[in-house]
Amino acid sequence: MSVQTVGSTVVLHLPAQGRPIASEQDALDLIGDTWGTGAEMLAVPVERLPPEFFDLRTGLAGAVAQKLVNYHLRLAVLGDISEHLGASGALRDFVRESNQGRHVWFLADAAELTARLGG
């Protein structure tokens, strides 16, 4: 994990390798890992998310996002999710709406995150 300040936002970047974020408990564990870093945003590579995260019927994406938001953490999912978007109109809508807000973003990479945060 690495911590980076982009503009005025402290971002904790997770490595691509590591335990998948496959449950609400995994989200809580991440919140615990984030404690003490000063991070306001968690940047999660798409490789850390199981396919179920992108199937909105499972509720995993909503549950993970809600846990983070409840603890005042923002989420940036970084990586190519085009295959998932092509398979689900609901996911396309969720991503579009999320990207218009401030709490959950789906972005191509860290460079896009930096640009979005104004760094």
Query: Does residue 35 surpass a pLDDT of 90?
Result: no
pLDDT value at residue 86: 95
Tell me which residue has tokens 């179920």.
52
Q: What is the 3-state secondary structure (H, E, C) of 79-102?
A: CCCHHHHHHCHHHHHHHHHHHHCC
Phi, psi torsion values for 67, nearest 5 degrees? -60, -45
Q: What share of the chain is helix, strand, coil (3-state, %, to 5)?
A: 50, 20, 30
Span 30-46, mean pLDDT?
94
pLDDT value at residue 63: 96
Distance, in Å, from the CA atom of 72 to the CA atom of 67, rounded to the nearest integer, reads: 9
pLDDT in tens, 71-117: 999 999 999 999 999 999 999 999 999 999 999 999 999 999 999 99
Q: Give how many domains the chain has, as a whole number.
A: 1
pLDDT value at residue 100: 97
Residue 113 is part of a domain; what is its CATH number? 3.30.750
Per the structure, the complete domain to which residue 44 belongs is given by 2-117
